[in-house]
A = this chain, B = another copy of it.
């Protein structure tokens, strides 16, 4: 595509790295709503501002310069004018929001990250990045998502936290639960190499769900929690039945955050036998859906990976990223779909 004419107070980003995540697989499979195909995928990217027209400010009022390394919030046009924005203050449910690489199509311009350049429209929220591109991408979009989930979980210092799933969101949730004060984090997931990543991220104990049925999993959780269940469980699996199991693995009056159900995988199965008396009411549970993330999660994530001390857990994963050229995008998608890599990235300059 040709370089676009820049609107006032907009910019071009020369992409260094762009992420390939589970959402991109769903996008390819046509499982997301409101997608204006065709489009350029890639919603979370890092790069350098190659051209600025007008003025671009960060949230602290400092002006960006060409050459600055930035990332940007993929969510755009949260309207600040609708009932969800202004009354409910639930901006992730604003009906007017657009997402780069997902709900912006080709007609909207260069709005996806799997490209050499991205057009940052006026009002796009850029964040200065002091981290190297790889450390940022070790978190990727999973970091703000997990941050939102951990925030919703209201973990108290000394809690035992259970994470279901060890994909990118699960692994980031482990790191963040520890950063937030969990005494220890347990993780149930698969396959083995991802559980190894969970352990590297700091999980005190991991269990392969492919080798243990629900009953065995529950026993394992109870063994690690004085027979009570986890204080906080973060579901990051994508499997509907895991939502019910998350409730069962949590102690009475605990909190369950549901963050793994991005896409419609259908209803909970009859086998799961969700019983509101036993699983929810009598347990006095809090079950909290967690949709999307907002600027604050993205900003805090960028600050963490930019901090020389706090970024350590992510920096340690830098060498475990799988890089693909633009021409290898389908290969990258296949790797993510099959779960054979921890994290796939598009390097348009590769």
Contact = CB atoms under 8 A, between A and B. Distances in A.
Nearest to A304: B158
Contact of A59 (B86, B90, B283): B86
Contacts of A169: none
Given A280-B243, A296-B89, A307-B183, A59 B83 contact: yes
A240 B150 CA distance: 29
Interface in A236-268: 240, 243, 251-254, 258-268
Contacts of A287: 280, 286-289
Nearest to A300: B158
B289 A286 contact: yes
26 contacts: A59-B86, A60-B227, A78-B80, A80-B80, A81-B125, A86-B294, A86-B299, A87-B295, A89-B89, A90-B284, A157-B176, A157-B180, A158-B300, A158-B303, A179-B181, A180-B181, A183-B304, A258-B276, A260-B281, A261-B276, A263-B277, A267-B273, A282-B291, A285-B288, A286-B286, A287-B287
Interface of A: 57, 59-61, 78, 80-84, 86-90, 92-93, 123, 125, 147, 150-151, 156-158, 176, 179-181, 183-184, 204, 226-228, 231, 240, 243, 251-254, 258-268, 270, 273-278, 280-292, 294-296, 299-301, 303-304, 307, 309-310
